[in-house]
A and B are shown apart, each in its own frame.
Chain A
Amino acid sequence: MFSSFRQSMAWLHTWFGLTLGFILMVVFFFGSLSVFDREIDRWSIPESRFEPQVMPSFDEMLLPILRSVEPEVQDYNTNMPLLHDLSQGPMTPRTELPADEFWAYTTHRDPVLIMGVGFLVPQPLDPEGHNHIHGNITIDPRTGKAFPDDQLKIGSRFFYPMHYSLNWNWNRIGIYIVGIAAFIMMAALVSGVIIHRKRFREFFTFRPNKQTQRSVLDLHNLTGMVALPFHFFFTFTGLLIFASFYFFPVTHTQLEPLHDYHEMVEASETGLPHKRAGVPTEIASVDAMVAKAKQRWAEKDMAGEVGFLKITHVDDANSFVSIYRAGSDRVALVGEGMHFNASTGELIREEPPRSAVSEINEFLTGLHLQHFEHWLLRWLYVFGGLVGAICIATGFIFFVEKRKRQHTLQGSSGSQVVDALAVTTVTGMLVATVSMLVANRLLPAEMVGKGYWEQVVFWGSWSVMLLHAFWRSSAVRHMHISPAWREQSILFAVLAIAAVILNWITTGDHLLKTVFHYWPVAGVDLSLLVSSAIAIYAAVYLKKRENVAVNKAIEFSAQKLEASRG
């Protein structure tokens, strides 16, 4: 069917890239934002604008709070009927479920502390399953005061999930779509290198003054090649993070028996009880265990803070406390786990050094999840992500530029549709993102369901941008540049500046203040201003190019007229 290997790769690159590229745009852009998800959280929740804290006293502050947490109504309503065995009696009322698991998590970038409780379903349908109804809470670790439930952490709970699941949670379909898109990204990278391999001779070439088709291809190749290792490794590691649960769940389905057998062997080796004993006991001082763990880390020459703390089988004789070190100084995630008997405070197990395979895996997933503390590398990741976005976007524009003449002559609207979708996923996505930030500052803080309305604004404004892009796209048929590009750039620039000003008005935190006292917010504000300036420049430049295109288009229609006569 294909006359050469190279041709087959070109076909793959073009058509798979086109169909899944729109998803990849979203993944790359929100991935770049997720690098600073916690900072965006601070921006959107002004009460949480204070310095990161270490894990506070568990015995005095966290335990009483965890005891007061209730199972979430929604989780209970959805999952309780699925997990509970009705033949053993009616469902246990929501507020009477016993706690089975406590956890608390913090990072070097989190002023707030996230905690949660896993509640046990007393009469489960499947006694072997993970029978938990959850209840989560976010607190201010300085005072122990809880943040309101319905406050949306825009960075870590909306932009970040957008990156890997498109926030489409029905049957996890979003995760699978992103997975397929990521796989195709890897294929597109390999095929891209194959079809453009000759371009390595002019590796550093970008000629903005050539005709659009040529200069766009320059930029596509340049951005694809310079960040090739980044693109490949991030796509690969992104897939790897989800591989064992979603993409190749071999050991959770077909080989589940083998997996369970191994769990059993492991439980007997580690001495960490797999099940509750059914004998109630008290929790000993967790703070003492934390002190022991820290001392042990210091002895191993890796002194550190607690990143993750978990109590399994709460209030049971088999209960144990697991304390993990925050991995802010290296690539791998939390680790060096220490497990203590919860009622005696005795050390049961210290995790041994990792095996080579595990080291590699931790490095690969850690480099993607970036829990480390390294501002330069974070910004370099943002750069990599945005370069990837440029690469994909220029791919669309090249597609349009190469085919629009032919499409127009054939009366096909192909390139018009692609152009409109490109506008939606480039400038439209920017407008939606910044509209959400503006809405966050405009909607009153005490409003019920504020987070929900912020999401409505996000999706709503994105839909409007889609309609606008299609409405304006007829220009492409006449060989013009769609004015939607320019118009949405201007809209974005205005909204971005508005977001910065609104932040100032509603919180009193203006740049002159935050630059010296609070970098997370200053960083978001400055990025908004810089993006706004770039958007204005782009709009001015597009206006110039539109005028050139108009002249060319007049020539083209003269030719067309002649062709139809002749």
Chain B
Amino acid sequence: MPNFSSPAWPIASRIFASLVGGYLFTWGLIAITIAALIPLGIEFHDVEMGMLMLGLLIYLSLFLWGMATDKLIWLWLILFGGGVTMTVLASVLQQSFLQGI
């Protein structure tokens, strides 16, 4: 049983949430934007490249926010919750679009 009251625990949780959660959130955001914009007829590679550029900056901001925020619970909820939701939604959107053509 890990010792949750040791000072190392919150810092480990914070680093994990910021790095991994931030990554997941960014992934979800990139995926959902691509999946949502392609059906609107926007050029595939434009969306992809644009989102990669933005995504890197967004990931950086999320990571810095995660390292600084007081509200660890919110950090976990937003990054993991948001990330998973967007990723799943992106797959759903993709499927409905590809089935519709």
Contact = CB atoms under 8 A, between A and B. Distances in A.
So, do A and B actually touch in the complex, CB under 8 Å?
yes
B85 interface: no
B82 interface: no
Contacts, number: 89
B84 interface: no
Interface size of B as a range: 35 or more
A301 B43 CA distance: 28
Contacts of A240: 52-53, 56
Task: Say whether chain B's binding surface is mostly helix, strand, loop, or mixed.
Answer: helix
Contacts of A187: 60, 63-64, 67
B26 A12 contact: no
Contact of A257 (B11, B53, B60, B94): B94
B93 to A, nearest CB: 9
Contact of B56 (A236, A266, A357, A361): A236
A258 B60 contact: no
Interface residues of A, number: 35
A331 B70 CA distance: 44
Given A2-B68, A187-B64, A258 B52 contact: no
A355 B94 contact: no
Contact of B94 (A183, A236, A258, A358): A258
Contacts of B26: 248
A243 B58 CA distance: 14
Nearest to A362: B49
Interface string B49-90: 110110111011001100110100000000000000001001
B27 A250 contact: yes
Contacts of A131: none
A358 B101 CA distance: 27
B46 A357 contact: yes
Contacts of B34: 250-251, 255, 258
Contact of B60 (A8, A183, A357): A183
Nearest to B34: A255
B97 interface: yes
Contacts of B68: 2, 5, 8-9
Contacts of A357: 45-46, 49-50
B19 to A, nearest CB: 8
B52 A243 contact: yes
Interface in A223-258: 236, 239-240, 243-244, 247-248, 250-251, 254-255, 257-258
A360 interface: yes
A357 B51 CA distance: 10
A250 B53 contact: no
Nearest to A355: B46
B64 A254 contact: no
Contacts of B43: 355
A66 interface: no
A1 B49 contact: no
Given A254-B90, A254-B91, A257-B94, A361 B49 contact: yes
B59 A183 contact: yes
Interface string B7-40: 0001100100000000000110011001100100
A255 B35 contact: yes
Nearest to A361: B49
A12 B87 CA distance: 28
Interface string A394-411: 000000000000000000
A259 interface: yes
Given A190-B64, A361-B49, 16 more contacts: A9-B64, A11-B67, A187-B64, A236-B56, A240-B52, A244-B48, A247-B56, A248-B26, A251-B34, A258-B38, A258-B44, A261-B98, A262-B44, A358-B46, A361-B53, A364-B53
